[in-house]
Amino acid sequence: MSKVQKLKSTTDAFLKASKSIYGPEISGSHLINGKLKRGENFFQSLNPADLSDVVGSFPSASKKDIDETVKAAAAAYEKWRKVPAPVRGNAIGRLAQVLEREKENLAKIITREIGKTLKESLGEVQEAIDTALFFQSEGRRLYGQTVPSELPQKELMTYRRPLGVCLMITASNFPFAVPSWKIIPALIAGNTVIWKSSQDAPATALSFAMCFQEAGFPAGVVNLIHGDGEVGQTCLEYVEKGLVQKVSFTGSTAVGKKIGEICGRALQIPSLELGGKNPLIIYKDADLDKAIPTSIVSCYGTAGQRCTSTGNIIIHKDIYDEFKSKFMKAASGIKIGNPLLSKNILYGPLIAERYLQNFLKHLEWGKKDGGRLLFGNGRISKKNPYPNFSGDPDAGWFVTPTLWEGVKKDMRLFQEEIFGPTVNLVKVNSFDEAMECANGHDYGLSSAIFTEDAHLMLEFKENIQAGMSSINNSTTGAEAHLPFGGIKGSGNGTRESGIWVLDSYTRWHAVNVDLASQLQLAQMDTDYGDFREPISFKDWVK
């Protein structure tokens, strides 16, 4: 039986027979040291567009499970780090082939489990494919440097070295693409991985982990465990024990700060990709034919559940009324529905009930905050219908697109990330005021401006406080070969993607080789052109 056939028989083992129109129910497992472990203390993953659909049941990792996983990853590291980097790259190339073959099936699992449209889910898998293809070649480019020495017959050089066991804690909104940004570069650098999946997307995580299995990664190199935030906290205990050498986290700023404290005590630098309240400036010379549809997708795509979603649209007073009128007309036509049953929808449900509750609360405090609600009335249901909804609204966590105006910089609406399909219109009198607003919050992830003025483009690029910026484009969207990450409350300066991420998963090792026949000391025995007779070791010792 071939490896692929063996894998198919293995994956068949965790699929239950089901009459669901969405597909089989999964009997989920951890993946520890190359083996599926069913575990105990199960939780269910539900389809947020149809809560009657049980995607699967999954074990919550126990302390014993985590112990086993850490030991497996540590043992595998001693072998994996010694595998030549081009050979590690070949394994990642095989992963890309598996992902390409299974792209549509994987996308359907993502859509079923977190409710984003199939088009977006296909894009997620494609991003993982792009990442794998990019880092496959980096296996032949993990360059160090040769450096000239100030002494004769001496060589200086640097090497990238892996860190060890890497703990990846990922969020639900990009359950496939974001883990690929973390796991693949960690592997090409020679590290091993413990992946704590999002509690909202365990089926997606397991399907991805099985792709690593089929690609032929050795047992223990990629390990997957499931559970909620408490499981993640338990995993973090191993950082201070010295058993985990790197943490990469995507999630809220509050949790990111706690992880930063833990890693700081262990003298480690975590990778923290956190929240955002991303500004989109519409200047008075903007091309509204492009700016309007771009803004709609930037605000409401993925039901606003992107860390890069636009939070504040900052509009010059001269075109405010025109923009507002056209934006409201476009937004009023947004189609919503079950993404596996409805075609041509912009967004589906919120991922989980806790996101729904947070979204509904913001409708209450937003009015007290002083915002004027232009449209948006909360959860869509049969009793609270939405005209452009298709399907059964009571089946899932669906909400209407929401728009506020009269929002000022000191308001909670302006400052806080909501994580849902809501956005604020902010009127400004000048470019300087627009920039002041764009930088006037605690986040610094993504940003964008619409203008035809090249000088303002330059000024925007130079003065915006963000890790990523777009000109005449959306605040959302990323490509696998550009650095992804933010500043201020959006991150700690580390980056995902592209060659820059390798700095997060390697350490620099400086080596000098002295081929001289006698002792020579840098700085002290260096001839800087005065040609004086150097003092030697013989002068110090009888």
> Cα–Cα distance between 114 and 172 in angstroms, integer?
7
> Cα–Cα distance between 41 and 165 in angstroms, integer?
26
Look up 307 and say whether it is catalytic.
yes
Structural tokens at position 139: 């296996």
- Cβ-based burial of 233 (10 A; exposed 0-12, middle 13-18, buried ≥19): middle
Q: Which residues contact 485 (CB under 8 A, 6 or more apart)?
A: 273, 445, 467, 468, 491, 493, 494, 495, 496
> What sign for the dihedral angle of Cα 240, 263, 480, 336?
positive
388 within 8 A of 336, measured Cβ to Cβ: yes
249 within 8 A of 213, measured Cβ to Cβ: no
Structural tokens at position 125: 């898998």
Structural tokens at position 377: 């009335």
> Cα–Cα distance between 509 and 532 in angstroms, integer?
34
Q: What would you report as the CA-atom Rg of the chain, rounded to the nearest whole angstrom?
A: 26
Active-site hit among 235, 263, 299, 307? 307
254 within 8 A of 67, measured Cβ to Cβ: no
For the sheet containing 222-225, what is the strand order?
35-37, 30-32, 222-225, 192-196, 165-169, 246-250, 271-273
- Within 241-300, where are the H helices? 253-265, 288-300
Q: Return phi, psi of residue 157, to 5°.
A: -155, 160
> Cα–Cα distance between 458 and 471 in angstroms, integer?
10
507 within 8 A of 163, measured Cβ to Cβ: yes
Q: Which residues carry out catalysis?
A: 273, 307
